[in-house]
Structure 1
């Protein structure tokens, strides 16, 4: 019989180009799913990521195959960790919340989502442009600074000078070498960097074992699910948990718990997407050491009723938007 699953690709315009070491994007390419049962509908959204071999077309095809499964559990079990399973898993949580009249946070035994400081990303650009962007966001408590191997010190120093009160996350997106990490160590220490995120390419990060760095190093591309934790714990001091990598809220919640048990700091992160992709991560944000959920902040127009951002603080979406059903009268 299959699932009552509707699948819809969407292309969401950004308010400004988003640049990292791998390239630039002007739109967020997402896939939305709607899972219906017993008169209720749950929604989920994912952002297919080419770095992990995903495209909108491949994710749609995975979901179309999953829709033919005999049950929801069978469909989720058949999907590998990644964007497609994230969209379906989050839709399943939203559907359960609506059917049971309880919030997802309550179902998970977590506190209700509230306002939480979130990193605001400073896109990779020229030194002056990055300084101006940091000055415009200087009231945010945390700035994530996108870097590559081209004079990262000048860019990081410019951001630190323009936003002297903000804590910084330096994110080279796999573009550095071990030698560059060592070279940048004094600059990282001088510029209030709270975290250095994924400096080396995944698969080449064994060089981080025993490396001297004045700030914690965080795994992003090297960490997807709990299966990666053993290697990650030898090389990193923190992890970036993203629902699109883990394959949904179910695995992301388990991964965050396991990472803390292993003595690692936890950051909850996201891809560039709408509030429909961010809301499912909010139950994990309250217990995180750092939060980076500014994906909707980059959109020219977010979804109605979605998250709001005020001075670097993310405010939860309106009741009933996702995972928080409007109380039945």
Structure 2
């Protein structure tokens, strides 16, 4: 159940920038900071907060998020529910920030935590992957040894078959017993993917995320998947999910992609109905982004909520990483 919107709400938008400890490289991109849009929605007594980092590969940057939020401001401040927000704004970082602020406002106004409003049980600590940005094979092997030894490892690939295989061989030698998944970030094509798969099996890789570019999903038709394939860039909103069955095994849900926790919960339900596994990921961001994603993670098979580990400084209070897990104090959000 959702509380009805008040006769008037106030929307405050802030842009904040969080520098990385070191540059982070994936296929086709190098990142040095995460700019986020923080939405604060007040009803005169309480204020809810939410954060959006946007979706870089869809042009959903800070300027775009601000423009979307300002366009929706009159309707939001007149009074809106989370359900009404879904048709008011398109999916993306701005709706994510505002949707999560409404969840937080509801929790503070009613005294009922967000996990209860979402129909979940009390949140439990979750095992989360830690990610290795793309680098030289030796540098990545060294970085793998420096990660929490209890954490699953997610490895960013670049699409260069020879270098990627060398990276994985070095990392597997450094972490022989670790759960390792790889993320191609759209870097492969059908022919190179067919050559990559046996190498992944040889390195005991647990999953392959987004091997082909978004829009080229038909290239997976007829391909024998020798390990679970995860849809990321191919799975933005609920409308994308039906076309994934038979091409992918798992859907990676990110609140910035789909536009908030409300939409994310609907995607998780639909993915399960279609027999797909569910993963929660992130577009980086601070602990304020991880907190609502942590609730979604309670429903997921794979959790990848390591965004704050890349930051030179996170928010305080922040999520807690310990022995390969993530915990989220309720004081952060919801």
TM-score by length of structure 1 reads 0.94
Q: Offset at 1:225?
A: 1.6
Which residue pairs with 1:223 in the alignment? 235
Which residue pairs with 2:3 in the alignment? none
Q: Offset at 1:213?
A: 2.4
Aligned residues: 322
Q: C-alpha distance in 2, partners of 1:52/1:60?
A: 15
Aligned mate of 1:122, from 128, 132, 152: 132
Which residue pairs with 1:134 in the alignment? 144
- SS of the residue corresponding to residue 245 of structure 2 reads helix
Q: C-alpha distance in 1, partners of 2:187/2:216?
A: 11
Which residue pairs with 2:328 in the alignment? 316
Instruction: Tell me the alpha carbon deviations over residues 273-312 of structure 1, each in whole angstroms, 9 at most, x when there is no partner.
Output: 1000010011121221100000011111111111011232
Equivalent residues in 2 for 1:145-294, closer than 5 Å? 145-150=155-160, 151-294=163-306
Q: C-alpha distance in 1, partners of 2:9/2:191?
A: 51
Which residue pairs with 1:25 in the alignment? 31
The answer (yes or no) to whether the contact 2:287–2:332 under 8 Å persists in 1 is: no
Q: C-alpha distance in 2, partners of 1:170/1:76?
A: 32
Instruction: Tell me the alpha carbon deviations over residues 38-72 of structure 1, each in whole angstroms, 9 at most, x when there is no partner.
Output: 41000000002220111201101111121111332
Single out whichever of 201-210 and 67-76 deviates more from structure 2.
67-76
Give RMSD over aligned pairs.
1.4
Q: C-alpha distance in 2, partners of 1:96/1:217?
A: 37
Instruction: Tell me the alpha carbon deviations over residues 166-189 of structure 1, each in whole angstroms, 9 at most, x when there is no partner.
Output: 111110100101112211122211
Give ranges in structure 2 of 5+ residues lacking alignment: 1-6
Q: C-alpha distance in 2, partners of 1:40/1:274?
A: 22
- SS of the residue corresponding to residue 15 of structure 1 reads strand
The answer (yes or no) to whether the contact 1:89–1:247 under 8 Å persists in 2 is: yes
Aligned mate of 1:92, from 90, 102, 110: 102
Q: Runs of 4+ in structure 1 displaced over 2 angstroms? A: 73-77
TM-score by length of structure 2 reads 0.93
Q: C-alpha distance in 1, partners of 2:222/2:323?
A: 37
Q: Offset at 1:137?
A: 1.2
